[in-house]
Amino acid sequence: MAKSVTVSIDAMGGDHGPSVVVAGCSRALEFHPQLQFILHGDARAIKTELEKYPKLASVVTIEHTDLSISMDDKPSQALRKGRGKSSMWRSIDSVKQGKADFCVSAGNTGALMAMSKFCLRMMEGVDRPVIAAIWPSIRGESIVLDVGASVGADGQQLATMGVLGAAMARALLPIQQPSVGLLNIGEEEVKGQDNVQEAARLLREWNPTGMRYHGFVEGDDIGKGTSDVVVTEGFAGNIALKTAEGTAKQIGQYLRDAMGSSLLSKLGAFLASGAFRHLRQKLDPRRSNGGVFLGLNGLVIKSHGGTDATGFAFAIEIGVDMAANDLMRRIQADVGHISGLGDDDDGAEDASDSKN
């Protein structure tokens, strides 16, 4: 029998609140019967949705909160008004208290990052958290980070991201010694800004046993799957993520328009329906929903705010895999083997105000 896993949920987060969150939990339970849930938020609203899912209701504990964080709140505002009493904070705190294995929220990204950093604190040897995403590629899947936790990163921070991403790749993909590439404007060693050059030097110098340093990769290498892990700072990473999501939707719309343009096209679409169904699944951004906050003393997953129940269930799925593969232990061991990392910084003041 699979080990029981407890998931702490910010039920009020996202564009749709409990209606999508509860439905997503129900779908996740279908694939993982060992799950238990702690839902934080307005008890009345949560119970109303749970009435639709009696099986889910039997494995749910509701923690009532009167306050929720809006999608428009800045991180500093969210901390002031929501610390200790909002559904977002309480969902994170359940991980800190050991009541849950990981937390999932579809709420405000900047607020969630600030609260997670303030509540869970940074892991020793890591001075800033990052958001890592599972990225579909021609070769399968890759890990890309940072996709929006903060803007900018020095060489040591980029190199540390490589270690964090490699640990996540070994836990989820899984690969015994994943390759790590640094996103750059060219593959040549002489190209790139000083921070990227410094990160390359550090990764070669550290030579971590849990990864292989691939070298520089370009933007098109992300989709090719040239390396198992792609490292970049949050500004460029978030632009790359949103561009990929938009391109997937664009291609999907082009295909729908082309297949419905004539009777012959419709017939061809019918005959190739199996292939198109497979393609639709590959291009479905919901299947990659869920950014993982790495570098904290606990697992927090950010679901896209506008996702549906299927997308939210996939975010939970990521957490289940990470808990089953003991991701936190892997990261702590990898970071602990590296000398010369930055000083710990527990402050939340520099958390990004961006909302992804």
48-85 tens-digit pLDDT: 999 999 999 999 999 999 999 998 888 888 888 889 99
Q: Give the pLDDT score at 353.
A: 45
What residue ranges define each of the domains in the chain, with the CATH number in brackets?
5-129+295-336 (3.40.718.10), 131-286 (3.40.718.10)
Residue appearing with tokens 């328009």 = 257
Q: Give the pLDDT score at 283.
A: 60
Q: Give the pLDDT score at 252.
A: 77
Closest CA to 110 of 80, 72, 144: 72
Q: Give the pLDDT score at 312.
A: 94
Q: Give the pLDDT score at 348.
A: 41
Q: Give the pLDDT score at 345.
A: 42
Q: Give the pLDDT score at 276.
A: 61
Give dist(CA 340, CA 249) in Å, integer: 43
Q: What's this model's pTM, rounded to 2 decimal places?
A: 0.83
Per-block average pLDDT, block size 10, for the chain (356 residues)? 85 93 96 95 96 95 94 88 93 96 94 93 88 88 89 90 91 87 87 89 83 92 93 90 82 80 76 67 68 93 92 93 86 70 42 44
Q: Give the pLDDT score at 351.
A: 42
Q: Give the pLDDT score at 340.
A: 46
